[in-house]
Amino acid sequence: MKVAMVVFDGVQALDVAGPLDVFAEANAFLADDQRYDVSLVGYEAGAVTCSNGMQLAVSCGFAECDTQWDMLLIAGGPQLPDSDPSLPFLNWLQHQACGAGRYGSVCNGAFVLARAGLLDGREVTTHWADAARLSDEFPHANVQPDRIFVRDGRLFTSAGVTAGIDLCLSLVAEDWGHELAVRVAKRLVVYIQREGGQSQYSPYMSSGKDGDPILARVHRYVSEHMTEALSIDDLANAAAVSRRTLSRVFAKHAKVTPAVYVEQVRVDSARKLLEESDTPLKTVAFECGFHSASHMRTTFSRRLNVTPQQYRLRFRADVSISEPHAHDAIAA
């Protein structure tokens, strides 16, 4: 299978190395005529400098490549959302995507596909930090900001950086079965399918200090009254505005309802406690305003696609947990 990994100056090294290593490990288990034949394609042949300073040897420029690739992947990079690919390259990409069995992107390589018109009407994802911008600039794309990777027909897109490994493991599983993908994952010492979505990796929400002052007052009030049941009237009184004004401000600046905002503040407070302390889950739930540990678990599962216990095991550096069923979370 002929695979093209499209790279540019400033590309994220892991966006390239992760997928290449998945295919290389898979090749170790495949017959010669079944292996992935991967080539780096750029604007022109020669050296490409990654964002970390590493240099990659590009075998051919797109204009000189007359190969019809079976699979085409666009790697991402920190500056890629601001890039302006040339019209000849975008035409080449459109042509290749039409003929390829599969095509897609790693991280914010999705912006390149979008500029070629290849994301219109499709369900896609990208790095959580770029998802809102991708959605704003290309409103015809159905951006799923919390997904690790998304398949829509022949189109595959993935979240940031190491999510390219998740994506390519799924491609190997599709090509050669789950068992081979598991063997590759074990060789790379990664999960065959990680739990949860991107939101568990994203930073905590802003307090609003640099945004609307009403949001800042509400955030401060919620943070100081976390254990209380907070109604919209309570928030409006704390911000010294009417319910109508409060709802309008939240719709414009926070893009969520006040109730959803309060829940997010509670989740972020719980995330911080889980990361930084061994506080029992029941206590975390109480201090962050959840009705119970069960309610907190349900909310985490809905918002982050992981339980509080799983979150703590993943992000707590010096785990020392006596909660029941910890071994079940590790085994999962």
Cα gap 165→75, rounded to integer Å: 12
Q: What is the CA radius of gyration of the chain?
A: 23
Q: What is the DSSP string of 275-303?
A: HH----HHHHHHHTT-SSHHHHHHHHHHH
Q: At what angle do helices 258-276 and 308-315 cross, to 10 degrees?
A: 50
3-state helix, strand, coil in the chain (%, to 5): 50, 10, 35
Q: Is 60 a catalytic residue?
A: no
Residue 189 in tokens: 């010492």
Cα gap 188→163, rounded to integer Å: 14
Which of these, 147, 145, 109, lies nearest to 128 by C-alpha position? 145
Q: Which of 50, 60, 65, 107 is catalytic?
A: 107
Which of these, 248, 247, 286, 282, lies nearest to 266 by C-alpha position? 286
Known catalytic residues are 107
